[in-house]
Amino acid sequence: MDSPGPTPAAARRSPITAVKPGDATTALSLADGTTVLVARYLTAFARPGDEVEFNSSFAGESRTELRIVRAGRVLPKELYQAQIGYVTQPKTDSRQALFLRAEVVAGGLGIRWVHLPASAVRDHFYRGDRSRPWAESPTLYDALRVQRSVNPGELRLAFKLRSLELEAARTARGELRNLERAFNMLMQPDLRSCYDALLDDADAPPVFPYGGFGSLAVGGELARDGQTFFAHSIVSFLPETTQRRFRAHLRRLDFLHDHALYRDSRRKIEVMLDPVLLPIAWDATWAQWKHLVGVKIGIDCTVVASGKCVFRSGQWKLVRRWIALPSRTEIKLPVDLNEQVGRARTTYHRFGQYFSQLEIVRQRLESEPVDRRELDRICGELGIPGDFDVAQISWQPDYDPFYYEQLRKRARRMFLFRDEYIFELEGATVVEVPEAGHATYIFAPGDIARFVRQYATANKDDIRKNRNGAAERLGFVSRVMHGAIPRTWLRELKSRIGEGASRPAEFEGPTTMGDRIAHRPPVAS
């Protein structure tokens, strides 16, 4: 079969003389003396006499972009493998047939797009048994032996139980992979919704899982213009994956009725946590006080590249992110997590009993900085119990205890003013809003009482621009941005205040804001 359209200069084409399967890859020996490594699963699709077209720059890689033109009347006539990026949502062509289009990334054969029939996407990703027709295939629910009404927690339990059964029976690895695929598809709400629609109507539009991004191999034929490959079936798809391990604030989770979601805009990661993976009895009230729990959980997961197009500022933009595979997500919880959560819930309710008194204190903080010891006295006069931590009156849901604690344990005195903390250190005066995206403002040491009076009449913009001499009057030295890595902030802070090591805390009470929040949370705003 002749190659339609012009062949790019970097592309080479040669007949296959021998196919040599290996443990992980298969070597294709070509008539021109070249050897091309391909993925092991392509062994059944390449035979001597077939022709292979490939990018000569990547001839030694198992995921090389290539096109195999099969000799004789074997179907499919051609097989194409390439790295793809975003796959569009289902569309309708001129014959009213649904299709999806995958973008070829860094291709060297002149092919820009892969045209995917909706039925090919449905049969490859959503069919329970790929060896049987859609109408005769068991469902993904059947693979896990659950009903369609199953919730995420029950799904995980079923997956664990079924995995143990298959491993004990020494089932073929392919069946275990199918089980894992079924679990991951049903655990993602969007994919499960799409699958349920396909169960009700086999011609419903299917979405490409996670939006594409990986190595795609399809059977079909190349268009005459050489830019679009029309696929008839999907042979294989290997998503782009990587391993991630990090710690996440519990307060940053969104707790829904049957699962929780962690979204990190900096890492561009989304992790779904079911009640089995995260064994905490949450309810709808968590949104009111979850920010009062200062603990972190450990997350170890395999993430899949994902993306979707969104309409922003008058144009469509591709938003990339990583989504954790539910089957390969592990959580490490603090040993006292349930205890801290219970205390936070109880003390949040208790703080509500003194809401009116605390509002009086907050109104004063809006007009002037107040020393922490003076706040203790004021709270006592208002009838607020002495074990309330007045330092938390200014605490906001998105504050990070790390910044607060590092300054608190170095402070001689501390003042509260609006949503800020003013610390008198040994070698500097520091103003802090302990939240990502903010900065720590450092001033020269001096009379702290005079400083707080003058600071109450200025603002950050005045200080940065030295408007009306505000920076000079306050003794402004510099500011340290919080940045993405808190430890980097701490190193720079130490260098600015002339400190080589941490100093002991002078305030009594719990040693971390996580403990302080769990014991004595402020009223939610």
Best CA proximity match to 298, nearest among 278, 319, 270, 320: 278
User: What is the structure's pLDDT at 523?
Assistant: 33
User: What is the structure's pLDDT at 57?
Assistant: 65
Rounded to an integer, the average pLDDT of 184-190 is 95
Instruction: Please check the confidence at residue 123 and state whether its pLDDT lies above 60.
Output: yes
Instruction: Please check the confidence at residue 290 and state whether its pLDDT lies above 80.
Output: yes
Rounded to an integer, the average pLDDT of 91-112 is 91
Rounded to an integer, the average pLDDT of 140-153 is 95
Contact between 6 and 226 (Cβ < 8 Å): yes
Q: Please work out, in degrees rounded to the nearest 5, the angle formed at the alpha carbon of residue 483 by the alpha carbons of 477 and 487.
A: 90
DSSP three-state, residue 122:
helix
What does 293-352 look like in DSSP terms, one character per residue?
A: ---EEEEEEEEEEEEEEEEETTEEEEEEEEEEEEEEEEEE--TTHHHHHHHHHHHHHHHH
Range with lowest mean pLDDT among 108-122, 132-146, 342-356, 450-464: 342-356
> Who contacts 435 (Cβ-Cβ below 8 Å, separation ≥6)?
396, 398, 399, 400, 403, 482
pLDDT tens-digit series, residues 407-420: 999 999 999 999 99
Instruction: Please check the confidence at residue 524 and state whether its pLDDT lies above 60.
Output: no
The tokens describing 11, both together, are 């592309």
**Structural domains of the chain sorted by starting position, each given as residue range(s) with its CATH number in brackets:** 1-60 (2.40.50), 75-239 (1.10.287.110), 241-334 (2.40.50), 341-519 (no CATH)
The tokens describing 237, both together, are 């798809």
Instruction: Please check the confidence at residue 350 and state whether its pLDDT lies above 90.
Output: no
pLDDT tens-digit series, residues 266-288: 889 999 999 999 998 888 788 88
* Entry field: residues in the chain: 525
How far separated are the first and last CA of the chain, in Å rounded? 71
Measured distance CA(209)–CA(194) in Å, rounded: 10
pTM of the complete model: 0.77
Instruction: Please check the confidence at residue 513 and state whether its pLDDT lies above 60.
Output: no
Rounded to an integer, the average pLDDT of 15-30 is 89
pLDDT category at 8 given cuts 50, 70, 90 is low
User: What is the structure's pLDDT at 518?
Assistant: 39
Q: For residue 361, how many other CB atoms are within 10 A of its CB?
A: 19
Best CA proximity match to 54, nearest among 17, 25, 11: 11
pLDDT tens-digit series, residues 471-507: 999 999 999 999 878 889 999 999 999 886 444 433 3
Strand 228-239 relative to strand 113-117: parallel, antiparallel, unpaired?
Answer: parallel
* CB burial readout 240-267, b (16+ within 10 A) else e: beeebeeebbbbbbebeeebbebebeeb
User: What is the structure's pLDDT at 259?
Assistant: 93
Instruction: Give the rounded percent of residues in the chain with a pLDDT score beyond 70.
Output: 92
DSSP three-state, residue 70:
coil
Contact between 66 and 11 (Cβ < 8 Å): no
Helices 355-367 and 372-381 meet at what angle, rounded to 10? 140
Contact between 99 and 118 (Cβ < 8 Å): yes
Measured distance CA(478)–CA(439) in Å, rounded: 10
